Amino acid sequence: MASLPTERNETPRGNASGFTRYLKHDLLSGLLVFLIALPLCLGISLACGYPPIAGIFTAIIGSILCTFLSNSELTIKGPAAGLIVIAIGCIEDFGGDGMTGGWLEADVTAYKAALAIGVAAAVLQIFFGIFRAGILGEFFPTAAVHGMLAAIGIIIMIKQFPVALGVIGAGGEPLVMLKEIPNYLAAANPAIAAIGIISLVIMFAWPSIRERVAFLKVIPAPLVVLLVAVPMGMGFDLLHTHLYALSNHEYQLGEQYLVKMPERVFGMFDDVTFPEFSALKQLKAWKWVMMFFIIGTLESLLSTKAIDLLDPWKRKTNMNRDMIAVGVANFVAASVGGLPMISEIVRSKANIDNGARTRFADMWHGIFLLLCVALIPTILHKIPLAALAAMLVYTGFRLAHPSEFLHVWRIGKEQLAIFVTTTVVVLATDLLIGVAAGIILKMLIHTSNGMPLKSMFKPFLEVQVVDDNTSMIVAKESAVFSNWIPFRRQIEQVGLVQKRNLIVDLSGAKLVDHSVMEKLAEMERDFDQEGLTFEVHGLDSLTPLANDPHAARKRTLTLMRRVTVTTSAALEYELVCKFAACGATGYTSISCRGAGLHELDSGIPAKDGQVRIELVVPFKVSHDMLDVLRREYIDQHSATICVENVDVIRSSDFTREVRSPAELTSHA
């Protein structure tokens, strides 16, 4: 985490004063982020089927325009791996092949059509922000979004693996390419594969090395890859076409394995390309417009929210303003040949770690990119494509890391089902269908868990005044992702707008899903930033579907055991102490008199001084209590013991461990 300035109460701002005051911090962070962004912009652009310079155009334009249009202080704007799948899909749909067979006329035509689609999507993003629709990013369920990102990561790995091996012309649907991996391994070019594999090893190993060696922490893995891969490429003489033999096989090397860059200083401006807007006359173009718009907007909003949570000064981005800034930057970038952009999470996190203070760090990273590509393009031409592909394989692995699956599984089995369904459907079809499948499955699961259909999109809320400073919102029926937006608006209106403390009572809800549990935790942070309190009541009346604190909860009856012991009143205190040590949380005792079978047969009057002790406990606690009774009481004292199963509404009342008699008595 970035270190805070000496004046702890001061919040850095991206204004004229902040530009000069935090110049040292922002300039240094911009330089370090530039070292990460340069290879990634080139690699992402190539993976999208665009010319490599397109990614640089996007990062430069996004960093400079968004610095002045957005109030997001620490996000880095630029091309992102999450949009690769859409971009290459669009290129291929318009007849390109992603330059797998060289930069042909068909690739140019598809590229210009994709630029027109990028302009149209950018216009939608601008209107999205103008009409204050940024809150729509709150609609999508967390598990479906993470499933989509995992699928994107898998597709990136599949698509870039053959490039890292030096296989020319590999392409097709992800699942088809997955089956072809043995053939890719057989067709690998050994020299290029050596560059790709060594680059991949560096990407995976460098984070651990950095943690062990202090002075290496500021050196990013992509820079180390370039420092190794470029000399390897020069050693293999990739600048000149030639053949070499290995194990009785002959392989070709040449410039086709290097990044294509302008051949002269300031030659980047020769590569400015304008959109072909006639492509928008085709119906299929609007499918891709919506894909770029929806997925790009969603990713950007989620990334910006995530970075706000990591901001050491807890500054909050105006999501609508930020979306207008991203839309304007996308409009300009697509108009001159650039890729779509978003608020990029990895580079933004690096920006924080490198000590950035204001949004001018984003601007400096763009300026460094501009200077590098404008002044030393011939050096960039020496970067092997296999090294860039290895970086993207690593990026894809991060998106689809096995820990993502484990994390979702811990939150709940139903979340894992949504996550996996979204991932598989995206791999088999496309992003929009995959996300829609995840949303539909989540709605079906909610319905099966008792969510009333009438509350699917409309929350049933009641606002109450607690005191002069506090209000309460009582939620009934359900609080789920699909009705969260109006729910959130009510929370903001009653609490943040009116500057009042707020209590949200969920005891009357039948279902609260994982997405809402996470978003309520975010609202607590928002209230805290405004100096207000935000409390959630009533969750103990609902049963969590997993052990995670953000797991979904629903109203159910929980099976418990009722243990009833009738014995001498003199044993009451001793028994209560024993039961408390076993984990009982409360009891009821009633003085009574009675007789057993022996007394009835013998005509002996009923005994006085008896007590009936009744406890409701979990199964494990009942077993422990019965063990105590068997060992210490049944043979020595007259006692009647009954055990029966009972259903309780609020299981939490019976699961708190109480160890002392005083605590047990006060609880009862």
CATH of 453-554, one of 3.10.620.30, 3.40.50.720, 3.30.750.24, 1.10.8.60: 3.30.750.24
314: Cβ–Cβ under 8 A, 6 or more apart, which residues?
Answer: 308, 525, 529
Determine the Cα–Cα distance for residues 213 and 233; give it in Å rounded to an integer. Answer: 28
Question: Beta-carbon neighbour count of residue 658 at 10 Å?
Answer: 20
What is the pLDDT at residue 262?
86
| Cα angle, residue 369 at apex, residues 367 and 37 outer, rounded to 5° | 120
Using alpha carbons, select from 539, 461, 465, 474 the residue that is nearest to residue 501. Answer: 465
At 355 the pLDDT is 92
Q: In this predicted structure, what is the pLDDT of residue 613?
A: 95
Whole-number pLDDT of residue 401: 93
Query: What DSSP line would sit under 471-513, residue for residue?
Result: EEEEEEEEE-GGGHHHHHHHHIIIIIITT-EEEEEEEEEEEE-
Residue with tokens 């604190």: 549
User: Among 148, 101, 470, which Cα is nearest to 294's?
Assistant: 148
Tell me how many helices (H) and strands (E) the chain has: 25, 14
Q: How many of the other CB atoms lie within 10 Å of CB of 496?
A: 17
Question: Which candidate, 508, 481, 482, 503, places its Cα nearest to that of 491?
Answer: 503
Tokens 């050491």 -> residue? 312
* Strand-strand pairing, 534-537 and 558-568: unpaired
* Residues recorded for the chain: 668
470-479 and 460-465 as β-strands: parallel, antiparallel, unpaired? antiparallel
| DSSP H/E element including 165 | helix 142-165
Note whether 342 and 300 are within 8 A (CB): yes
pTM over 0.85: no
Phi, psi of 81, deg, nearest 5: -60, -30
d(CA 630, CA 515): 47
b/e code 280-295 from CB counts within 10 Å (16+ = b): beeeebebbbebbbbb
* Cross-sheet strand order for the sheet of 588-594: 588-594, 607-617, 558-568, 639-648
558-667 under CATH 3.20.20.150, yes or no: no
Q: Which portions of the chain are predicted below pLDDT 50?
A: 1-8, 657-668
Domain spans in the chain, listed from the N-terminal domain onward? 25-401, 404-448, 453-554, 558-667
* Percent of residues in the chain assigned helix, strand, coil, to nearest 5: 60, 15, 25
Q: β-pairing, 501-512 with 470-479?
A: parallel
